C-alpha cells in the first residue's frame, strides 16, 4: 500500500558512471517532482512533470534527465556522475491543482 | 525558487515542553505547508494552510498562516520523544507548482 516509492534506497557508484533512480506513485496524482536534499538538509526542486509533460526545470546540469513514461512514474537518469551529485534525492507527487506534495522515502546517492 | 528563512535552526528541549518555530518569506505565498522528516525518511506533511490568518491544528501541533502572507508559525505542545526530527516549512504561490522550502528546524527532545 506504498504511496510514493523509489528504487533503489541506496546507490553507491564511481565518478563518471551513469545511473538511474525510479519513482512510482499509486495515488492517482497528476504531478510528480524530483528534489535534491544536500548535506545541510536543504530541499531544492529539480524537475516537475504534470501528466507526462515537463513543467519545472530548475537550473540543473543537463547530465540530469527526467523521464515520465506515464503519469504514475517519473524516473531520473544521471550521466557522468560527479562527486557533487552525492545527496539524497526525493520523488514527490501531488493531486491536480493541489499544493500538497507527498514524498517518497528517498534515494541516498554516494559518488566515490 | 527562493529559500525561506526558518528559525530556530535547532532546538534541544525536555519532554513536556512546548515548542515554537517560524518561517518568513520575502514574497507572498498562497499556501503554507509544514512537514516533518525523520532520519532516513522522506518529509511527511503535517499541516496545510490556505488563507491568511488561518489557524489549524493536528493533534498537539498548531500552525498559523501569517496575516501578511509572508510568514507562518508552528507550535508543538507537550513535546514527546517521538517529536524528534527536522521540521520544514514550505510555501507556494499561485504562479507555479514548486514548493519553496525553509532550511529546517532540527528538534531534539530528551526524556
A100 and B33 within 8 Å at the Cβ level: the answer is yes
Hey, is the C-beta of B107 within 8 angstroms of any chain A C-beta? no
Q: Give the residue-averaged pLDDT of A91-103.
A: 93
Average confidence (pLDDT) over A16-28: 97
Euclidean distance between CA atoms A4 and B18, whole angstroms: 32
User: In the predicted model, what is the mean pLDDT of residues B57-71?
Assistant: 96
**Residues of chain A with C-beta less than 8 angstroms from the C-beta of B96:** 56
Q: How far apart are CA A87 and CA A38, in angstroms?
A: 5
Beta-carbon count within 10 A of A65 CB? 14
The mean per-residue pLDDT over the stretch B2-26 comes to: 94
Residue A31's closest chain B neighbor by CA?
B97
Q: In this complex, how many residue pairs, one in chain A and one in chain B, have their CB atoms less than 8 Å apart?
A: 60
Amino acid at each position: 500500500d506504498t504511496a510514493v516509492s523509489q528504487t533503489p534506497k541506496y546507490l553507491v557508484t564511481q565518478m563518471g558512471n551513469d545511473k538511474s533512480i525510479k519513482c512510482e506513485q499509486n495515488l492517482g496524482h497528476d504531478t510528480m517532482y524530483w528534489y535534491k536534499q544536500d548535506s545541510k538538509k536543504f530541499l531544492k526542486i529539480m524537475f516537475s512533470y504534470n501528466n507526462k509533460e515537463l513543467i519545472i526545470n530548475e537550473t540543473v546540469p543537463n547530465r540530469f534527465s527526467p523521464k515520465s513514461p506515464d503519469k504514475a512514474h517519473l524516473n531520473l537518469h544521471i550521466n557522468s556522475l560527479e562527486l557533487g551529485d552525492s545527496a539524497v534525492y526525493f520523488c514527490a507527487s501531488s493531486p491536480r491543482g493541489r499544493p500538497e506534495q507527498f514524498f517518497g522515502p528517498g534515494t541516498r546517492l554516494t559518488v566515490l | 525558487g527562493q529559500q525561506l528563512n526558518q528559525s530556530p535552526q535547532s532546538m534541544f528541549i525536555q519532554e513536556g515542553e512546548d515548542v515554537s518555530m517560524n518561517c518568513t518569506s520575502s514574497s507572498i505565498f498562497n499556501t503554507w505547508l509544514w512537514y516533518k522528516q525523520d532520519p532516513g525518511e522522506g518529509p511527511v506533511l503535517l499541516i496545510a494552510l490556505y488563507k491568511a490568518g488561518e489557524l489549524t491544528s493536528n493533534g498537539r501541533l498548531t500552525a498559523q498562516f501569517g496575516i501578511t502572507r509572508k510568514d507562518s508559525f508552528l507550535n508543538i505542545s507537550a513535546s514527546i520523544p517521538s517529536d524528534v526530527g527536522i521540521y520544514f516549512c514550505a510555501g507556494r504561490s499561485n504562479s507555479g507548482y514548486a514548493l519553496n522550502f525553509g532550511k529546517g528546524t532540527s528538534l531534539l527532545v530528551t526524556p
